[in-house]
């Protein structure tokens, strides 16, 4: 799957600001490989984890015996939280949810006499006017719904709740009843005889506006035959009446959805034309292209567009998009369609589609020069100058000005067709008259294949002596923080790797082969079960079935494409036809089979699967583009030379990786550009493509019913089926595998895992980042800055930013990515042995599901189950789901580690929108948990030196958490006292005294024990070559930055900015302050203060203190404290709420008293962001290293997709919509501090490079060799002082005043009013205290 989401994975190293769903956890996106037993999500340990299996709520899912078309069920707009969020056909629960009386709560084939009950309940439900939530099930989650998608279903506002009541909600409920009626109609239920129910269908599955029947038109009346569900027609009449009463509203909604999706051409072709077209006098009359057809004359059998006589597109008046969001989606869709034609080299179809868009008032409004350039590029590759001339004239007639790319395409065409000089001169003269210079063509334009050579050929036809402009001289970053770093006088040679040129070339070829395959299949570390005859037979059966399924899916895909290509036949999927031709048919089949093989028995959300399928197609399309453009050959050529910078048997070079790569690219001269212009596909398009592929999969894949039981008839049944399930108060569509398939997979006991290649560590040094669009993997598309779907402002900001300003950030990411790693094999083997021996929860090795608590035996009839029994069963299922989640997470990490156990590997890095860095591979990396960190070693070894062994011992004691308040010397002495335990742990980890097991980080402690044992037993410990990383961690780093910003003397002392003999513990200080407040209140007779006597501790307040700096609210803080109090068995449960409410108030008061400057700065940032957002702008700033940042919080809107199986509601949130004021305001202070801590880390990384250190980080935890800890500590302090010696707040104020309050941006009176208030706010920069920043240089415990 593509990087940027679709799935999110909590970054193990990041701290969270709270326990709840709004916790400030930084997410690392990446490719989430899936498995047949893939973890779902579960809430536990203060963060959301994947969880599978448990079905929440009281209502069972609606099962379908066959994958037939279900009713269209949708959710209206819910709380705007995430961009690109997809609702899987979700609906508010009716009143009867949780009562056991739901009309579809009965499973087919269970119990007798259910037909009457179902009919009775259906009648009862129709009389309900306003369904309400089921409070009991609120807040729970079920299996398979990723948090990033699920959180968009959270509680709605009061206004939204009110809007959902009444007619609209009744229509939704009635649509659900339609679904049940259709389901019962087709279900094979022997106990319930269901007659055909004729329902007047609301035209929901069309994108055009619904047609409202005329008043005189006779409507069909529901009729029933026999003694079934529809005998009494009163409920059906009411259903019919309600549905028709809602058609005007549905008409408006569906019409707006059509314009929003940019699919008017198909929508209008389906609708009855009523008005004549608006004709353009400047454009020749063109017929609409409404169907795709196979070109019989082409040897490649490429699709083409067939003209349809009397196209409806030209004859209907079209509604203009209401806002910029609609226009942006429409523009993206048009550009994506044109790039499809470009990839397929279908010039006629592309031009016809472009002219069709030009003839549409809606689409003409969003057409830009880029759309014309794309079509002209197709003609240029064919050397057709006449067609290109025609498009040039249309472009100018449309009021658009040709840009540099337009002239580059025109000159390429003249060069390819060897046009006469007159034609070339005409374009060159036009280029000059437009204010361009011919040299700019080669300096600013991007080329593919031989385009650059063709342009040069054309120019030299009329100017034979023309020479390419020399490459621009490298620009040097002028940041005051990095003047010495970029100074050539102080620059040394770049450090070498311990590999020869030949070895690095071989590793590059291995990496390339892996990426070209797209996926990597590895052996699982789970203990292989004995291969029984049953397993052998199951594997043979699966192999046979998969071969049959491959053929069936291929036939279904080809049949679907033929159907789409028929002229005069319209389908809502016709627009997808070019996207189904981008790859060979076999690749689509591979993608669908991979989804099938990875599907867990609990199933997966329809929306998640659709998005994943669409994203996989897009990823492979991008790789195909890179291969076709010739980019790969050029990357290979340059990488072979780039190796000279890193290989040990090459000459030393005084270049950074980025600088050396840029030098090699400039020297390469001709060939394709490495920065391809890629058009991202809109979320709606990805969903639609994925849904179509999912429907093909569901319809094509079948299994004989008697494959496991020969006594049954050999009827083919679907392997996948579509159900609805309730999660809390939402109805969600799921795709589930048939139990027969799940049983087959279980019996086969296959021992492999399949991952996307981008989820694996790299086998060669990463390609250096040289721009926002190029770097990291060889082929896999990776963004420099990860962001939420459909949020493009970050990428635009980066592209508009002068590249020289991004050099420090790019160089820091390259430095982190160039750190080579290897596996600590002895520790890995011990972990795997425990993993396969039932695990150990105390050691964070999740046990298998066989160890899960067994649910109690049900007492007979389900109607006799008590509430406590049901709750006990639910808790057992929840625990099993959590165990499954954790087990799968550990399985992935350990299996990948085992796969690379004998290899050296690298983690390419990118960053989030705040500048915080993350490894691109999402599963196994050094940001992981204790287990993951324990099995990672630096590939480069260095001698310990005179103090290295001491640092290893101090590091071990830090990992135990035993001596946090003691001085470093005391920690070292303690380590020497317990050397016997340390050596015993190293020698007998599982059979000795097991001292290491009782530490905070047991696995890292064990690894450190082993390293100390080896070093201390070596002849010369100082000469011992150590690969072990030693950590230095910031002391409440967020508060350190606040204290330095405000020069807060008391705050600085509390967070170890001031030199002191012992480490200061801010958490204990706050707890002590809170205790003083409590004593005073208790003396005054306050009951809750008296109850809390003896319960206030460091542990109770720590999480809240830590996360105050990251924007935790009093509400979130109260939940954190309540959780800690619950862990105290002696605390009276009846006082939990009152006590947590009291304590969070006192914690905030204590922090305000101890960190007065911190609260002032936080309030100033919050108020400034509030005023900026209220004026309709998003909060932006630039870090001291020059990285532009914009907060991606906008109000979201829903787009309803009508797909074959169900309706999907896609939530989009992008920069063309209004900012979310609350999120912009609350997130600014923590995001600003995060941008500062990432700046400090990058400065430290770059200066450590100059000192020759190995350096990596986990945000505010810095790693290096034991030999160089002292040097890293010095650099870390120097860069912190240098950073905060800048006028950070003053510079922020000036930047925002210029951006938001300059006179040029004011146009109306309301804006001027906001600007006046904002100007006053921004100008009032908080005053600073008297803390001397240089004291940090002498503070031992600043980082320790």
Residues with a catalytic annotation lie at 1033, 1102, 1260
Helix (H) or strand (E) holding 521: strand 519-523
| 3-class SS string, 734-763 | EEEECHHHHHHHHHHCCCEEEEEHHHCCEC
1151: left (phi over 0), alpha (psi -120 to 50) or beta: alpha
Given a contact cutoff of 8 angstroms between Cβ atoms, the answer to whether 1272 and 1243 are in contact is no
Given a contact cutoff of 8 angstroms between Cβ atoms, the answer to whether 54 and 876 are in contact is no
Backbone angles phi, psi at 735, to 5 degrees: -110, 125
Q: Point out which residues pair with 702 in neighbouring strands.
A: 718
State the burial class of residue 1156 (Cβ atoms within 10 Å of its Cβ: 0-12, 13-18, 19+). Answer: middle
Is residue 136 classed as helix, strand or coil in its secondary structure?
Answer: helix
Q: What is the DSSP letter of 105?
A: -
Between vectors from CA 361 to CA 399 and to CA 359, what angle results, nearest 5°?
A: 75
Query: How far is Cα of residue 1098 from the mean position of the Cα atoms in its chain?
Result: 35
The whole-angstrom separation of Cα 1269 and Cα 1210 is: 50
Backbone angles phi, psi at 453, to 5 degrees: -65, -40
Those residues whose C-beta lies under 8 Å from the C-beta of residue 75, and which sit 6 or more positions away, are 87, 89, 90, 91, 92, 153, 730, 1198, 1209
**Closest-CA residue to 174 (of 120, 129, 227, 233):** 129
First-to-final CA distance of the chain: 39
The whole-angstrom separation of Cα 1329 and Cα 1156 is: 10
The two structure tokens encoding residue 1004? 């890292």
Is residue 1095 classed as helix, strand or coil in its secondary structure?
Answer: coil
Given a contact cutoff of 8 angstroms between Cβ atoms, the answer to whether 935 and 897 are in contact is yes
Those residues whose C-beta lies under 8 Å from the C-beta of residue 1081, and which sit 6 or more positions away, are 1089
**Closest-CA residue to 402 (of 421, 364, 423, 376):** 376
**Within a 13 Å sphere around the CA of 189, how many CA atoms are in the beta-carbon half?**
28
**Closest-CA residue to 939 (of 822, 1029, 765, 815):** 822
Given a contact cutoff of 8 angstroms between Cβ atoms, the answer to whether 1318 and 1168 are in contact is yes
Angle at which helices 1002-1017 and 945-960 cross, to 10°: 150
Between vectors from CA 218 to CA 215 and to CA 221, what angle results, nearest 5°?
A: 125
Is residue 732 classed as helix, strand or coil in its secondary structure?
Answer: strand
Backbone angles phi, psi at 271, to 5 degrees: -85, 160
The two structure tokens encoding residue 275? 């008005």
Q: What is the DSSP letter of 375?
A: H
**Percent helix, strand and coil across the chain, each to the nearest 5:** 50, 10, 40
Given a contact cutoff of 8 angstroms between Cβ atoms, the answer to whether 1210 and 1018 are in contact is no
Given a contact cutoff of 8 angstroms between Cβ atoms, the answer to whether 1146 and 1126 are in contact is no
DSSP letters spanning 899-956: HTTTS-EE--EEE-TTS-EEESSSSSSTTS-HHHHHTEEESS-EE-HHHHHHHHHHHH
Place of tokens 């709270």: 18
| Other Cβ atoms within 10 Å of 1247 Cβ, number | 23
Given a contact cutoff of 8 angstroms between Cβ atoms, the answer to whether 884 and 849 are in contact is yes
DSSP letters spanning 1321-1334: HHH-PPP-----GG
């Amino acid at each position: 799957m593509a990087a940027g989401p679709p799935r999110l994975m909590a970054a193990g190293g990041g701290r969270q600001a709270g326990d709840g769903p709004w916790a400030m956890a930084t997410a690392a996106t990446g490719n989430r490989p899936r498995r047949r037993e893939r973890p779902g999500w579960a809430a536990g340990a203060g963060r959301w984890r994947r969880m599978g299996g448990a079905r929440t709520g009281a209502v069972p899912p609606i099962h379908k015996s066959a994958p037939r078309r279900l009713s269209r069920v949708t959710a209206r707009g819910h709380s705007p939280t995430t961009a690109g969020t997809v609702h899987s056909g979700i609906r508010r629960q009716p009143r009867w949810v949780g009562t056991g009386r739901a009309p579809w709560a009965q499973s087919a084939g269970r119990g007798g006499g259910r037909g009457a009950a179902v009919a009775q309940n259906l009648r009862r439900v129709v009389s309900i006017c306003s369904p309400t939530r089921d409070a009991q099930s609120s807040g729970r989650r079920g299996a398979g719904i990723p948090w990033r998608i699920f959180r968009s279903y959270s509680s709605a506002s009061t206004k939204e709740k009110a809007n959902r009541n009444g007619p609209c909600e009744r229509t939704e409920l009635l649509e659900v009843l339609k679904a049940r009626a259709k389901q019962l109609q087709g279900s094979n239920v022997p106990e319930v005889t269901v007659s055909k129910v004729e329902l007047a269908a609301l035209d929901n599955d069309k994108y055009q506006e619904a047609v409202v029947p005329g008043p005189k038109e006779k409507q069909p009346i529901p009729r029933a035959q026999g003694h079934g569900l529809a005998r009494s027609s009163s409920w059906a009449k009411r259903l019919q009446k309600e549905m028709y009463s809602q058609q005007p509203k549905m008409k408006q909604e569906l019409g707006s959805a059509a314009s929003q999706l940019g699919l008017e051409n198909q929508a209008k072709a389906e609708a009855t034309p009523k008005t004549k077209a608006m004709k353009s006098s400047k454009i020749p009359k063109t017929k609409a292209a409404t169907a795709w057809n196979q070109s019989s004359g082409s040897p490649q059998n490429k699709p083409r567009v067939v003209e349809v006589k009397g196209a409806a597109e030209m004859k209907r008046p079209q509604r203009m998009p209401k806002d910029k969001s609609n226009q942006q989606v429409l523009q993206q869709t048009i550009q994506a369609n044109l790039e499809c034609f470009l990839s397929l080299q279908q010039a006629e179809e592309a031009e016809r589609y472009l002219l069709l868009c030009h003839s549409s008032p809606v689409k003409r409004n969003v057409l830009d020069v880029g759309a014309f350039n794309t079509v002209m590029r197709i003609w240029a590759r064919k050397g057709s100058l006449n067609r290109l001339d025609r498009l040039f004239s249309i472009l100018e007639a449309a009021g658009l000005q040709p840009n540099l790319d337009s002239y580059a395409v025109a000159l390429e065409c003249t060069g390819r067709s060897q046009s006469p000089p007159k034609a070339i001169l005409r374009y060159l003269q036009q280029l000059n008259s437009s204010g361009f210079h011919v040299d700019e063509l080669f300096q600013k334009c991007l080329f593919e294949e031989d385009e650059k050579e063709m342009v040069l050929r054309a120019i030299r036809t009329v100017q034979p002596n023309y020479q390419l402009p020399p490459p621009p001289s490298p620009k040097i970053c002028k940041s005051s923080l990095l003047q010495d770093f970029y100074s050539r006088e102080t620059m040394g040679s770049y450090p070498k790797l311990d590999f020869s040129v030949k070895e690095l070339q071989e590793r590059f070829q291995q990496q390339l082969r892996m990426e070209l395959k797209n996926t990597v299949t590895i052996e699982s570390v789970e203990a292989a079960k004995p291969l029984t005859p049953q397993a052998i037979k199951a594997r043979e059966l699966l192999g046979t079935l998969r071969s049959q399924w491959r053929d069936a899916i291929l036939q279904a895909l080809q049949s679907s494409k033929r159907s789409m290509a028929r002229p005069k036949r319209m389908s809502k999927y016709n627009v997808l036809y070019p996207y189904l031709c981008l790859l060979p048919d076999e690749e689509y089949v591979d993608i669908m089979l991979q989804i099938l093989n990875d599907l867990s028995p609990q199933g997966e959300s329809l929306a998640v699967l659709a998005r994943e399928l669409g994203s996989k197609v897009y990823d492979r399309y991008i790789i195909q583009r890179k291969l076709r453009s010739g980019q790969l050959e050029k990357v290979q050529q340059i990488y072979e030379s780039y190796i000279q910078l890193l290989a040990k048997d090459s000459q030393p070079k005084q270049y950074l990786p980025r600088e050396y790569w840029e030098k090699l690219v400039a020297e390469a001269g001709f060939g394709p550009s490495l920065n391809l212009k890629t058009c991202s596909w809109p979320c709606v398009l990805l969903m639609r493509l994925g849904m179509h592929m999912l429907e093909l999969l569901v319809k094509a894949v079948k299994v004989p019913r008697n494959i496991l039981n020969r006594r049954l008839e050999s009827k083919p049944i679907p392997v996948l089926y579509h159900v609805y399930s309730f999660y809390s108060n939402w109805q969600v569509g799921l795709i589930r595998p048939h139990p027969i398939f799940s049983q087959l997979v279980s019996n086969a006991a296959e021992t492999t895992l399949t991952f996307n290649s981008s989820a694996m560590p790299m086998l060669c040094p990463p390609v250096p980042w040289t721009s926002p669009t190029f770097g990291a993997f060889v082929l896999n598309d990776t963004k420099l800055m990860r962001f939420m779907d459909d949020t493009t402002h970050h990428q635009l900001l980066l592209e508009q930013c002068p590249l020289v300003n991004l050099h420090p950030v790019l160089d820091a990411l390259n430095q982190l990515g160039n750190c080579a790693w290897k596996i600590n094999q002895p520790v890995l083997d011990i972990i795997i042995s425990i993993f396969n021996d039932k695990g150990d929860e105390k050691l964070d090795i999740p046990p298998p599901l066989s160890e899960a608590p067994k649910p109690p035996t049900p007492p007979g009839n389900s109607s006799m189950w008590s509430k406590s029994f049901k709750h006990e069963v639910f808790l057992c299922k929840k625990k099993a789901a959590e165990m499954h989640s954790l087990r799968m997470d550990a399985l992935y990490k350990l299996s990948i580690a085992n796969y690379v156990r004998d290899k050296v590997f690298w983690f390419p890095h990118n960053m989030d929108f705040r500048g915080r860095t993350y490894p691109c591979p999402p599963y196994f990396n050094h940001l992981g948990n204790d287990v993951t960190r324990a099995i990672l070693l630096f590939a480069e070894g260095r001698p310990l030196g005179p103090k290295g062994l001491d640092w290893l011992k101090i590091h071990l004691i830090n990992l135990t958490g035993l001596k946090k308040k003691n001085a470093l010397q005391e920690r070292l002495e303690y380590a020497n006292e317990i050397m016997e335990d340390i050596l015993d742990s190293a020698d007998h980890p599982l059979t000795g005294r097991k001292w290491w097991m009782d530490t905070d980080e047991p696995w890292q402690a064990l690894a450190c024990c082993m390293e100390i044992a080896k070093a201390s037993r070596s002849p010369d410990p100082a000469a011992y070559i150590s690969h072990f990383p030693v950590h230095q961690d910031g002391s409440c780093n967020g508060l350190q930055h606040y204290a330095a910003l405000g020069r807060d003397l008391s705050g600085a002392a509390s967070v170890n900015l001031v030199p002191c003999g012992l480490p200061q513990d801010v958490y204990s200080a706050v707890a002590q302050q809170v205790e003083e407040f409590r004593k005073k209140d208790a003396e005054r007779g306050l009951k809750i203060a008296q109850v809390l006597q003896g319960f206030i501790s460091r542990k109770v307040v720590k999480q809240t203190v830590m996360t105050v700096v990251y924007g935790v609210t009093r509400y979130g803080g109260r939940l954190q404290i309540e959780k800690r109090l619950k862990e105290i068995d002696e605390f009276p449960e009846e006082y939990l709420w009152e006590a947590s409410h009291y304590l969070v108030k006192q914690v905030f008061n204590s922090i305000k008293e101890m960190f007065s400057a911190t609260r002032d700065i936080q309030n100033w940032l919050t108020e400034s962001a509030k005023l900026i957002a209220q004026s309709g702008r998003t909060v932006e700033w630039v870090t001291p290293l020059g990285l532009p940042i914009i907060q991606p919080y906008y109000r979201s809107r829903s787009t309803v997709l009508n797909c074959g199986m169900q309706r999907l509601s896609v939530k989009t949130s992008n920069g063309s919509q209004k900012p979310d004021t609350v999120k912009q305001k609350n997130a600014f202070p923590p995001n600003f501090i995060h941008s500062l801590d990432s700046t400090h880390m990058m400065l430290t990384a770059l200066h450590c490079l100059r000192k020759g250190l190995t350096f990596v980080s986990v945000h505010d935890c810095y790693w290096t060799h034991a030999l160089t800890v002292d040097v890293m500590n010095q650099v870390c302090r120097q860069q912190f002082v240098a950073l905060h010696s800048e006028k950070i707040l003053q510079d922020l104020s000036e930047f925002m005043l210029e951006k938001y309050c300059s006179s040029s941006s004011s146009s109306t009176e309301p804006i001027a009013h906001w600007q006046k208030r904002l100007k006053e706010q921004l100008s009032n920069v908080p005053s600073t205290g008297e803390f001397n920043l240089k004291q940090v240089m002498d503070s031992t415990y600043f980082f320790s």
